[in-house]
Amino acid sequence: MAGWHPIKRREFVRKLRALGFAGPCRGTRHEFLVFGAYRQTIPGNADYSVPQLKMLLRQVGQILGRRISSEEWEAL
């Protein structure tokens, strides 16, 4: 399916692990995933809305140094 749609937290973590992130690790308030020296905080809610998903993927893209398209995201 092309385009963005809401996603479950578990599925989000699975896809980030496919991109090379390790974790999740427990923090003081939120869990996070690790990529080298970088940390990506994972919100605690069970479902992520489309705007929240886009915001998180923008942060992930900065860590990876490239943009993540909706087609690439769906293929993970």
Q: 43: which 2 tokens? A: 């919100």
Structurally, how many domains does the chain consist of? 1
Query: What's the pLDDT score for residue 2?
Result: 61
Query: What's the pLDDT score for residue 13?
Result: 94
Residue 68 lies in a domain: yes
Residue 48 lies in a domain: yes
Residue 1 lies in a domain: no
Query: What's the pLDDT score for residue 16?
Result: 93
Range of the domain at 66: 7-75
Report residue 24 CA to chain centroid gap: 11
**Encoded amino acid at 64, one letter:** L
pLDDT tens digits for range 11-61: 999 999 999 999 888 988 888 999 999 999 999 889 999 999 999 999 999
State the CATH number of the domain containing residue 40.
Answer: 3.30.920
CB-based burial label for 12 (10 Å; 0-12, 13-18, 19+): buried
Query: What's the pLDDT score for residue 62?
Result: 93
**Averaged pLDDT, 66-73:** 90
Residue 13 lies in a domain: yes
Residue 2 lies in a domain: no
Half-sphere exposure of 49 (CA within 13 A, CB side): 2
